[in-house]
Amino acid sequence: MPTAGPSAAPLLRSGARAGTIIVWIGGPITAGGGASTPANRMSSIASRDLGLTEKNYAASTATVSNGLVTRCYAARDDKSYDHNQVAYVALAGGLEDPVSALPTVIYKARDVVNECRKAFPSARIIWAAGPGSLAGMDDTQLADSTTIVSAILGQARQAGALAVNLRTVLGTDTSMQSSGILPNDVGHEALAEAIVEAIEDDRAEPVDTPITPTRNYSSGLSDWASRQVEATRRREAEKREANRPTGTELGGVTQKLDELTQQQGVQQVLLEQQQDELDEHQQELEAQQKSLQSQQNQLTQHQNELEAQQKSLKTAQDAIKDAQEQLKKVVGDQGDQVASLQQVSDRLSQVTADLQTTTSKLQTIETTVNSNLRMRVLQIETWLENNTTFSPWGG
């Protein structure tokens, strides 16, 4: 059953709006995927049936979790028409989103309502969740689509939008399927009819429209009678409003139970996803702990190796210190030996110099002796030549 939202027009109740334009925001189906011509798409058919001008900002790649809010921005930024004339903004999508994107779908479904409401404050927001064909889906896909659509409808109700469940309109009927989730012309028409019916059910008689008496009174009691008639009619209008066809009380309770069941299903899936994520994080944590333990063991091993190397280095340093002391002692001894050798060398140099002096003197003496000897020999030879008789004693 449609959910009533806040009214921006004071003389119109619930979903009824003044305006001549309906804005469409959605994905491939809203864009006309599967329809033979744009005129046969869901949005165009519904717009014609409602007597409103269509403004379509759907994109074939847009999904609830990725792109729908962007299409709302595109509509907001289009200033080619008066936004105050927009009576309805229809959001559509859901079957394109995987259940793994459920958390994103939830906040995006609410976010797109808020953004469209800011862009078109006078418009009634309609959330048509799950348009498309279910033919060809397996049990898992069907269950996932139920979860996604239930989540969108729940967010739509909380945001005060008109929540319309289109998931079961086409069902698995292949006669209304084009390919995949895309409907054919018949399917588009069926979806449009469901949206129009929901909008018409959401409309109601004005509750604040002044009551105009239909009878004229000529007596002096005319004013009193007029007020009585007006009061009576207002009470009748209030009764009609209170008894406006919205289903029986039992039907209302059943709907609330269905909605609660859907939300519980969504919460169950969210809890399961969170549990899966928790398990995954737990496994990652355990792996990280094992890796950390391995690194800790490696660090301990490296520390032990470092301590061993430090001990070895200390031993080497002590050995080097001892060697340095020995070398210092050897160098000291060598210094003394060098000094002694230097003294010996100096003594040898002195001796050598003395020898050279002595040699020089000897050479001088030798030269002198040789010279004297030669002169003496010459004298003797001369004398011998002059004296035939030789007297060794001079006599």
The number of folded domains in the chain is: 2
Comparing 277 with 236, the larger pLDDT belongs to 277
- Average pLDDT in the 287-312 region? 86
Comparing 243 with 76, the larger pLDDT belongs to 76
Q: Is 103 contained in some domain?
A: yes
Q: Is 86 in contact with 24 (CB distance < 8 Å)?
A: no
Give the domain CATH number at 53: 3.40.50.1110
Residue 221 has pLDDT above 70, yes or no: no
Q: Whole-model pTM? A: 0.58
203 and 324 part of one domain = no
Q: What are phi and psi of 21, to 5 degrees?
A: -125, 145
Q: Is 128 contained in some domain?
A: yes
Q: Is 12 in contact with 18 (CB distance < 8 Å)?
A: yes
**Alpha-carbon distance values, 173 to 33, 91, 131, 182, 379 (Å):** 17, 24, 13, 12, 167
Residue 59 has pLDDT above 60, yes or no: yes
Residue that is last in its domain, among 207, 235, 252: 207
Structural tokens at position 320: 């080097």
- Average pLDDT in the 94-116 region? 94
Average pLDDT of the chain is: 81
Structural tokens at position 69: 């809010």
325 and 203 part of one domain = no
Beta bridge partners of 126: 90, 162
Q: Which of 115, 6, 118 is nearest to 71 (CA)?
A: 115
Q: What is the 3-class SS of 100-146, one letter each residue?
A: HHHHHHHHHHHHHHHHHHHHCCCCEEEEEECCCCCCCCCHHHHHHHH
* pLDDT per position as a tens digit, 332-369: 777 777 777 788 778 888 888 888 888 888 888 878 88
pLDDT for 244 equals 58
Q: What is the largest CA-CA distance in the chain?
A: 223
- Average pLDDT in the 122-131 region? 96
The CA distance from 147 to 141, in Å, is 10
326 and 178 part of one domain = no
Quote the Cα angle for 192-196-200, to 5°: 175
Residue 4 has pLDDT above 60, yes or no: no
pLDDT for 57 equals 97
38 and 177 part of one domain = yes
Residues contacting 130, CB < 8 A, separation 6+ = 94, 95, 145, 148, 149, 152, 165, 166, 167
Q: Is 137 contained in some domain?
A: yes
- Average pLDDT in the 41-61 region? 96
Residue that is last in its domain, among 173, 207, 241: 207
Q: Is 10 contained in some domain?
A: no
Comparing 151 with 211, the larger pLDDT belongs to 151
Residue 305 has pLDDT above 70, yes or no: yes
Q: Is 265 contained in some domain?
A: no
Q: Is 152 contained in some domain?
A: yes
Residue 120 has pLDDT above 60, yes or no: yes
Comparing 82 with 273, the larger pLDDT belongs to 82
In the numeric block, the tokens 């060809």 are attached to: 136
pLDDT for 313 equals 86
Residue 275 has pLDDT above 80, yes or no: no
Comparing 161 with 319, the larger pLDDT belongs to 161
Comparing 230 with 218, the larger pLDDT belongs to 230
Q: Is 231 contained in some domain?
A: no
Comparing 131 with 208, the larger pLDDT belongs to 131
Residue that is last in its domain, among 185, 207, 229: 207
Q: Which of 160-174, 298-312, 381-395 has the lowest mean pLDDT?
A: 381-395
- Average pLDDT in the 67-95 region? 96
Q: Is 27 in contact with 61 (CB distance < 8 Å)?
A: yes
Question: How far separated are the first and last CA of the chain, in Å rounded?
Answer: 186
Q: Which of 101-105, 230-234, 312-316 has the lowest mean pLDDT?
A: 230-234
Range of the domain at 334: 320-386
Q: Is 313 contained in some domain?
A: no
Beta bridge partners of 56: 24
Sheet harboring 21-25: ordered strands across? 53-56, 21-25, 86-93, 124-129, 162-165
Q: Is 97 in contact with 147 (CB distance < 8 Å)?
A: no
DSSP letter string, 154-211: HHHHHTT-EEEE-HHHHTT-GGGEEETTEE-HHHHHHHHHHHHHHHHHH----SSSPP
199 and 336 part of one domain = no
The CA distance from 271 to 1, in Å, is 27
331 and 192 part of one domain = no
Q: Which of 49, 36, 152 is nearest to 102 (CA)?
A: 152
Residue 311 has pLDDT above 70, yes or no: yes
**Residue 298 — very low, low, confident or very high, per pLDDT cuts 50/70/90?**
confident
The CA distance from 283 to 292, in Å, is 14
197 and 328 part of one domain = no
Residue 16 has pLDDT above 90, yes or no: no
Task: Check residue 81 and report its DSSP letter.
Answer: S
